[in-house]
Structure 1
Amino acid sequence: MTEPTSALFAPLPGRGFIKVDDEEAAQFLQTILTANIDQISAGGCAPGALLTPQGRILHDMMIYYCSAVSDAGSHFIIETDGAGLADLFTRLRRYRLRRPVGLRVVEDMTIWLCWGAPFDVEGVYHDPRHQSLGYRWLGQGDEMPPFATIATRGEITQWQALRIAAGVPEGPIDLTPERALMLEAGLDMLGAVDFEKGCYIGQEVTARTHYRGLVKRRLVPLRLPAGVPPTPGTEILLGEKAVATTKTAAKTEGGSLCLALIKLSDLHLVLDGAAKLQIDGSPADLVIPDWMQPLPNPARTDKAG
């Protein structure tokens, strides 16, 4: 496709990359990560995570299956938050033991994103989490993405606003390491965990939470009026009581958006009109995306406030 589109593109900074290859690469990843590696098609990608044995998120990631003419050249690229790259690499090496699996940090790689219009370009990965998030492309060095000739250079903050509006968490601000749970973040509904694939690290706790309906909180988008987006960690009030803090945020044309992890009982109070949320003295409106509705009912033991 060579005709110009209304799409925008930009690099996503702050990311790190690990190449996983050799004969048991897929089997190795299948036994430790939440994603079903066997279901990622050649030239496709999927979100996933590495958990603690207690089911808490250590590292969220996007996993790419990079196909080649021969199976010997096929490999996986794990894209994750750059600040946690060294820790993730150390953990993967620890779990590898003596298996024939190659692990290597890829130093000179950039992830480019393109959003705002559909197109068909070879070698581009479709972001499976939400249709508004568009496409991804892995580049080496100073390479420009193939969609650069049909899209206009944008700002990554524009994509971040779309991500937050879609309720899609990404990185350690949204998913606090060793505290965040897959189901509270909605990652089960975003394709980052497969309950049918068998064992992986943290599988028992994650499956029990799923089948018993033990989720008490939900990561949701909030919309604020015009102003500077709140700094991560800003208090969120329900009436006069602090009930949560903000996570990633981005400016929009009509104000700003942020993500927040809030108790389901408090969310239902807001949805029922019995209470309102505030951030820095300004009203904060729930903007629940379609895929997240309806929100689960709170557990009987979950009290609001």
Structure 2
Amino acid sequence: MATILRAGRIVVRFSGPDAHRLLNDVLTGPFDPQSDEAGWWALLTPQGKILAEGLAGFAEDAWWLDVSTSVAENFLKRMKMYRLRAKAEIEDLRETYRVGWSAERPQDGIVHRDARGGGLGYRVLDPLEATAGWIEGEDFVRARIAAGIAELGEDFEPETTFAHDIALDLNDGIDFDKGCYVGQEVVSRMKHRGTARRRPVIVSGLSAQAGSAVASGGRDAGTVGRVIDGTAVAVLRLDRIADPQAATVEGAPVTLTLPSWASYAFGESGDED
């Protein structure tokens, strides 16, 4: 099976004796160098809002992260600021490496399994010269939407969304056992107080575009992300969806479905916003 080019992502390589500590101390996710999985992570503001998110895997004595091109400059700037005097090298590899996806494990490249949503195939990183056979397509987006996984740049904008809103906590994107990282206090409070009202929902039967509002009972519950084949992921207010059968987008009825891995339900509400 051919590898699908993910043109909207770039590769950032972290290496050096303090690279692991830097990532572990700043980003939300667990960083296990023994794992063959690409772990989900986010860089948060001190207020807990997502600035960047992506996958990270360890190979060839370095950590390999991918991040949306839309926030790449800010991500690099902030990580270099947080580095201070740490012995870690941060390399922007957008000119020399590409990010790809494959439903089956390829033989070549830096390959890590994407375990989000029960399994999303494999993230593949390769030098530019080795990607001539990669193709453009929307297979990854279809798989991601079907799994109910929201992605920054396609489904929500930076500094608008909390980590719990995209279910980082339910897809191993937050290490609740490690010490402080940027935004940790907000994440911890939402976990222990049960205040997560917004969660990913799969919306199908769409004829509208990304950014259109989902309404339920006459109230806006959120907006849909990128639409493929009439289906999208939306980060919605669960407490505003008492009857998921009555949801509409731009006046047209749609179907709301919870991801198969979801532990939340329509109609739930937290103690506070």
Match of 1:172 in 2: 153
The answer to whether the Cα contact below 8 Å between 1:50 and 1:57 also exists between their aligned partners in 2 is yes
Could you tell me which residue of structure 1 aligns to residue 235 of structure 2? 261
Judge conservation of contact 1:44–1:66 (CA < 8 Å) in 2.
Answer: no
Aligned to 2:212: 234
The answer to whether the 8 Å contact 2:219/2:240 transfers is no
Contact 1:127 1:134 in 2 (8 A): yes
Cα gap change, 1:290 to 1:198, in 2 (>3 Å): same
Q: 1:279 aligns with which of 244, 249, 256?
A: 249
Letter in 2 for 1:109: Y
Deviates more, 1:232-241 or 1:57-66: 232-241
The 3-state SS of whatever aligns with 1:83 is coil
Alignment of 1:79-98 (within 5 A): 79-98=66-85
Structure 1 residues 294, 214: closer, same or farther in 2, change over 3 A?
Answer: closer
Partner Cα separation in structure 2 for residue 288 and residue 224 of structure 1:
15
* 2:91 aligned partner, one-letter code: R
Structure showing greater radius of gyration is: 1
2:195–2:272 contact (8 Å) kept in structure 1 = no
**Structure 1 residue aligned with 2:22:** 28
Structure 2 residue 199 is matched with structure 1 residue 207 = no
The 8 Å contact of residues 202 and 258 in structure 2, kept in 1 or not, is answered as: yes
Q: Deviations over 1:53-82 (max 9, x none)?
A: 111111011112113xxxxxx111220001
Counterpart AA for 2:27: L
Aligned residue for 1:162?
143
- Return closer, same or farther for 1:112/1:119 CA change in 2, 3 Å cut-off: closer
- Shift in Å, 1:219: 2.1
Assess, with a 3 A threshold, how the Cα gap between structure 1 residues 210 and 241 changes in structure 2: closer, same or farther.
closer
Contact preservation (8 Å) 2:195, 2:271: no
Aligned residues of 2:98 and 2:131 also touching (Cα < 8 A): no
Superposition deviation, residue 99 in structure 1: 1.3
Match for residue 270 of structure 1 among 243, 248, 258: 243
AA matched with 1:286: L
The residue aligned with 1:99 is 86
Deviation at 1:120, TM superposition (A): 7.1
Instruction: Tell me, yes or no, if the aligned pair for 2:5 and 2:98 is still in contact at 8 Å.
Output: yes
Aligned alpha-carbon RMSD (Å): 2.3
**Runs of 4+ displaced beyond 6 Å:** none
The letter of the residue matching 1:202 is: G
Cα–Cα, structure 1 residues 82 and 182, in superposed 2: closer, same or farther, change >3 Å?
A: same
Aligned partner of 1:70 in structure 2 is: none
Find out whether 1:46 has 2:39 as its counterpart: yes
> What are the superposed Cα offsets for residues 222-244 of structure 1, whole Å, 9 maximum, x if unpaired?
1115x5xx322112222444332
Cα gap change, 1:131/1:154 in structure 2, threshold over 3 Å: closer, same or farther? farther
Distance 1:53 1:288, change over 3 A: same
Q: Select 1:218's aligned residue among 196, 199, 218.
A: 199
Aligned residue among 158, 169, 173 for 1:188: 169
In 2, the alpha carbon distance for the partners of 1:45 and 1:78 equals 9
What's 2:12 paired with? 18
Q: Any gaps of 5 or more consecutive residues in structure 1?
A: 1-6, 68-73
The answer to which of 25-34 and 134-143 deviates more is: 134-143
Preserved CA contact (<8 Å) 1:55 1:181: yes
Q: Distance in 1 between matches of 2:54 and 2:272?
A: 33
Is 1:138–2:121 an aligned residue pair?
A: no
Q: Which moved more, 1:277-286 or 1:40-49?
A: 40-49
What is the match of residue 299 of structure 1?
270
Partners in 2 of 1:201 and 1:301 — Cα distance? 22
Which amino acid letter does the alignment assign opposite residue 177 of structure 2? E
1:243-258 → structure 2 map (5 Å cutoff):
243-251=221-229, 256-258=230-232
Secondary structure of 1:28 counterpart: helix
- Closer, same or farther in 2 for the Cα pair 1:97/1:298, shift >3 Å? same
Q: Deviations over 1:101-140 (max 9, x none)?
A: 111111221112111xx55746521112134521121011
Give, in angstroms, the shift of residue 157 of structure 1.
1.7
Instruction: Report Cα offsets for 1:170-229 as digits up to 9, x if no partner.
Output: 12342431121111211111111011111111111101110110112212111115x5xx
